C-alpha cells in the first residue's frame, strides 16, 4: 500500500529514471569498450585514399572534405602492422592495430577512441555526467552538518561518497568539455597534442585544414 501511495504521488518516478540512467551508462560503457573503434584491416588498403573514396561515395565514415594541400601528402605504411594508413589514422601499440580517425587510447574503457566509437564515447560521458550530478545532489541533500565526533562517525561514508562523486564529476566534466571543443574544431586529441609531428598537418598551409566551421563540424561528427 505504501508503494502504491508513493506511485500515485509520483515519488517513484525519479528513482526509476535514475536507475534507467545508470543502466544506460553501464550499457554504453560496455558498448564503447567492446566495439571496434575503427581498426584498419589489410583488405581495406584499396579504399585507403580518402580523396578517391569521397569521389566514389565508398568512404566508410570518412566523409570529411580533405583539402588539396592535405590530400597531396603521401600516405605511409604502418611500421607495426604493415597496413597502409588512411589519413588521420594512427597505430595504437596497446591495441596492436591502426585506428581510423584515432583520438586516444582510453585506459578507463581499455579501448581506443576512434572513428566508430567516438560519438558513443561522448554519449557515455554525457550520461555519466548526469548520473554523477544527480548522485552528488542526493548525497548532499542527505548531509546535515554538525560539529560533533558522533555525527562524523555516522556520516563518514556519506562524506567520502560525496567527495568521490565531486572528483569524478570534475574529471568527466573536463573530459567532456575538452572533447566537445575538439569536435567543434574537427580535430582529435592526438592531432591537437602532436600537431608538429604529423606530416599531413606539418605540410598544410592551414593550422587545421579539416575545420569547416562549428556547425558543420558538429553535424558531420554526430550525424
Q: What residues act catalytically?
A: 106
Q: Report d(CA 17, CA 75) in Å as an integer.
A: 49
Q: Report d(CA 154, CA 31) in Å as an integer.
A: 38
Three-state DSSP at 169 gives helix
Alpha helices in 75-142 (DSSP H): 118-141
Q: Which of 64, 35, 59 lies closest to 49 in space, CA to CA?
A: 59
Q: Report d(CA 38, CA 60) in Å as an integer.
A: 10
Return the CA Rg of the chain. Answer: 23
Amino acid at each position: 500500500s505504501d508503494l502504491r501511495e508513493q506511485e500515485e504521488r509520483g515519488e517513484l518516478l525519479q528513482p526509476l529514471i535514475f536507475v534507467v540512467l545508470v543502466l544506460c551508462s553501464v550499457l554504453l560503457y560496455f558498448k564503447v569498450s567492446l566495439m571496434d573503434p575503427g581498426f584498419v584491416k589489410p583488405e581495406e588498403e584499396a579504399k585507403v585514399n580518402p580523396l578517391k573514396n569521397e569521389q566514389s561515395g565508398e568512404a566508410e565514415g570518412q566523409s570529411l572534405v580533405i583539402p588539396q594541400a592535405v590530400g597531396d601528402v603521401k600516405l605511409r605504411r604502418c611500421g607495426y602492422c604493415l597496413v597502409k594508413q588512411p589519413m588521420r589514422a594512427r597505430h595504437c601499440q596497446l591495441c596492436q592495430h591502426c585506428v581510423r580517425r584515432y583520438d586516444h587510447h582510453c585506459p578507463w574503457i581499455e579501448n581506443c577512441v576512434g572513428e566508430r566509437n567516438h560519438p558513443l564515447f561522448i554519449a557515455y560521458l554525457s550520461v555519466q555526467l548526469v548520473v554523477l550530478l544527480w548522485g552528488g545532489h542526493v548525497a548532499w541533500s542527505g548531509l546535515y552538518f554538525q560539529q560533533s565526533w558522533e555525527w562524523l562517525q555516522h556520516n563518514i561514508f556519506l562524506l567520502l561518497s560525496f567527495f568521490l562523486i565531486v572528483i569524478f564529476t570534475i574529471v568527466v566534466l573536463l573530459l567532456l568539455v575538452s572533447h566537445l571543443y575538439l569536435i567543434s574544431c574537427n580535430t582529435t586529441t592526438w592531432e591537437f597534442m602532436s600537431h608538429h609531428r604529423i606530416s599531413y598537418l606539418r605540410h598544410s598551409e592551414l593550422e587545421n585544414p579539416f575545420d569547416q566551421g562549428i556547425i558543420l563540424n558538429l553535424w558531420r561528427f554526430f550525424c
